[in-house]
């Protein structure tokens, strides 16, 4: 039986990166695409509860879902692929998903949902400066390379890979860890805040402008900024085990 690969994204069913990723993976087996009907960037790992998820078949093996990236992988896994996939791949996202941004990324969340359901996952993103032309090609090539390796060798349990492709010709591939931002920009007040304040309302915008990064030569940010493709293994267990041992010494009692 050939491999079955479930592909999703957060940029939506019509995104160029999704088409590029699907073409790149075709030679590895059967590819089923289940993606949001519209852009869900920044949706993180949210699931749609309390209303039905409408699904539209747009082409053979392609499904558009009125829901989030995590919804799409869940539906693809249990309802739309015929059988559980061997690999879940998300992307190619139009924009990097590095460091703290992983917490907000719908692209990473789709791969994370695959890992939660017991299958290896991979999220692929690229620098916006490379959108179009050869940029998509480079991202598609690294997606194919890593997907083939995962299908051949597997990943440790509860693990997914977060892949980020820099602008320009990549200098190589680095194994990295998540970088950390230096937060220092509060939400901006909307232009109409003074007017609406009179009726008890205010407007704010959370800025998406670049922030500074902590200096860490082993980070995904450093690798990408130096022209390397960053590959970061992520783990589902968020428990801080060392601190758990330290906190075990606290004397806690409800008496």
Question: Is 214 a residue whose pLDDT tops 90?
Answer: no
Span 78-107, pLDDT tens digits: 999 999 999 999 999 999 999 999 999 999
Q: Are 20 and 139 in contact (CB under 8 A)?
A: yes
Q: What is the 3-state secondary structure (H, E, C) of the chain?
A: CCEEEEEECCCCCCCHHHHHHHHHHHHHEEEEEEEECCCCCCCCCCCCCCCCCCEEEEECCEEEECCCHHHHHHHHHHHHCCCCCCEEEEEEEECCCCHHHHHCCHHHHHHHHHHHCCCCEEEEEECHHHCCCHHHHHHHHHHHHHHHHHHHHCCCCCEEEEEEECCCCCCCEEECECCCEECCCCCEECCCHHHHHCCCCCCEECCCCCCEECCCCCEHHHHHHCCCEEEEEEECCCCCHHHHHHHCCCCCCCC
Residues 41 and 136 in one domain: yes
Query: Which among 90, 85, 117, 116 has a CA at the least distance from the CA of 105?
Result: 90
CATH classification of the domain holding 66: 3.40.1210.10
Instruction: Report whether pLDDT(46) > 80.
Output: yes
- Same domain as 100, residue 208: no
Instruction: Indicate if 100 and 167 belong to the same structural domain.
Output: yes
Q: Is the pLDDT of residue 1 over 80?
A: no
Residues 189 and 78 in one domain: no
Q: Are residues 45 and 93 in the same domain?
A: yes
Establish if 252 belongs to a structural domain: no
pLDDT in tens, 134-191: 778 899 999 999 999 999 999 999 999 999 999 999 999 999 999 998 776 676 767 6
Number of domains in the chain: 2
One domain, residues 113 and 193: no
Q: 243 lies in a domain?
A: no
Question: Per-residue pLDDT averaged across 194-221, rounded?
Answer: 73
Domain boundaries, position 191: 181-212
Same domain, 133 and 200: no
Residue 203 and residue 141 in one domain: no
* Residue % of the chain over a pLDDT of 70: 91
pLDDT surpasses 60 at 23: yes
The per-residue pLDDT for 254 is 86
What digits encode the pLDDT tens for the residues 54-84?
Answer: 999 999 999 999 999 999 999 999 999 999 9
Residue 247 lies in a domain: no
Q: Does residue 166 fall inside a structural domain? A: yes
141 and 102 within one domain: yes
Judge whether 131 lies within some domain.
Answer: yes
Whole-number mean pLDDT of the chain?
91
The verdict on 79 and 200 lying in the same domain is: no
In a domain, 190, yes or no: yes
Segment 27-42, tens digit of pLDDT: 999 999 999 999 888 8
Q: What is the pLDDT of residue 187?
A: 67
CB 74 within 8 A of CB 137: no
Is the pLDDT reported for residue 12 higher than 80?
yes
Q: Specify whether 161 is located in the same domain as 208.
A: no
Q: Does residue 166 share a domain with residue 97?
A: yes
Residue 251 falls inside a structural domain: no
Evaluate if residue 194 carries a pLDDT over 90. Answer: no
Is 119 domain-assigned?
Answer: yes
The answer to whether the bond into 62 is cis (omega within 30° of 0) is no
187 or 12: which leads in pLDDT: 12
């Amino acid at each position: 039986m050939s491999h079955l690969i479930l592909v999703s994204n957060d940029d939506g069913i019509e995104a160029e990166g999704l088409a590029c990723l699907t073409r790149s993976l075709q030679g590895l087996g059967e590819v089923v695409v289940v993606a949001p009907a519209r852009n869900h960037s920044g949706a993180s790992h949210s699931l749609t509860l309390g209303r039905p998820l409408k699904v539209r078949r747009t082409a053979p093996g392609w499904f558009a879902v009125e829901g989030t990236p995590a919804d799409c992988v869940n539906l693809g896994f249990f309802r739309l692929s015929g059988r559980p996939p061997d690999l879940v791949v998300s992307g190619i996202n139009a924009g990097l998903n590095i460091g703290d941004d992983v917490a907000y990324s719908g692209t990473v969340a789709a791969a994370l949902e695959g890992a939660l359901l017991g299958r290896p996952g991979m999220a692929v993103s690229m620098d916006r400066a490379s959108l179009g032309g050869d940029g998509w090609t480079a991202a598609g090539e690294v997606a194919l390379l890593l997907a083939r390796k995962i299908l051949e060798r597997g990943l440790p349990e509860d693990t997914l890979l977060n892949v980020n492709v820099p602008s320009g010709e990549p200098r190589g591939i680095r194994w990295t860890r998540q970088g950390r931002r230096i937060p220092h920009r509060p939400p901006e007040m909307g232009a109409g805040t003074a007017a609406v304040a009179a009726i008890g309302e205010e407007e704010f915008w959370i800025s998406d402008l670049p922030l500074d990064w902590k200096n860490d030569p082993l980070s995904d940010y450093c690798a990408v900024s130096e022209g390397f493709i960053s590959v970061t293994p992520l783990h589902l267990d968020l428990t801080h085990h060392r601190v758990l041992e330290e906190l075990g010494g606290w004397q806690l009692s409800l008496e």
